[in-house]
């Protein structure tokens, strides 16, 4: 019988195949760090609504002019930061990163420069 090396790529492919065979839901490994970001396909009105909602619930000063996450100064960046602040503050439950299906949970840290996604 041939042996298969358990590299990270093989494990990812196995998990991906398993998810498709079990209904298409990829479950995150317990303890894995996750972040919530805006879907790139989201329209401006949705992004603005997400910023307004998230920032009514959490402190979003980090996206104000002169703060670490202001640049790039665009809706998708500001929405992603605000949505992640909300998601992190609410316990990182998948339902806290839905925003009417305009958000994604990611496992790659979206931080850049001095803008740190906690």
Mean pLDDT of 59-79: 98
CA–CA separation, 80 and 74 (whole Å): 10
What is the spatial distance between Cα 48 and Cα 4, in angstroms, rounded to a whole number? 48
What are the pLDDT digits (tens) for 81-115? 999 999 999 999 999 999 999 999 999 999 999 99
Going from the C-alpha of 21 to that of each of 12, 18, 45, 76, 106, the distances in angstroms are: 14, 5, 36, 33, 21
User: How is residue 63 written in tokens?
Assistant: 């996206």
Q: Where are the domains of the chain?
A: 28-106
| 20 vs 98: which has the higher pLDDT | 98
The answer to whether the predicted template modeling score (pTM) of the entire model surpasses 0.85 is no
Contact 37, 106 (CB under 8 A): yes
């Amino acid at each position: 019988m041939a042996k298969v090396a358990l590299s990270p790529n093989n494990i990812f492919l196995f998990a991906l195949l398993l998810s498709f065979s079990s209904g298409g839901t990829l479950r995150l490994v317990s303890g894995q760090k996750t972040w919530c970001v805006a879907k790139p396909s989201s329209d401006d009105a949705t992004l603005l609504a997400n910023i307004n909602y998230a920032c009514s619930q959490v402190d979003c000063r980090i996206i104000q002019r002169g703060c670490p996450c202001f640049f790039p100064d665009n809706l998708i960046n500001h929405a992603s930061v605000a949505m992640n602040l909300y998601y992190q503050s609410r316990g990182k439950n998948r339902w806290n990163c839905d925003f009417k299906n305009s958000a994604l949970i990611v496992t790659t840290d979206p931080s850049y420069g001095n803008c740190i996604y906690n």
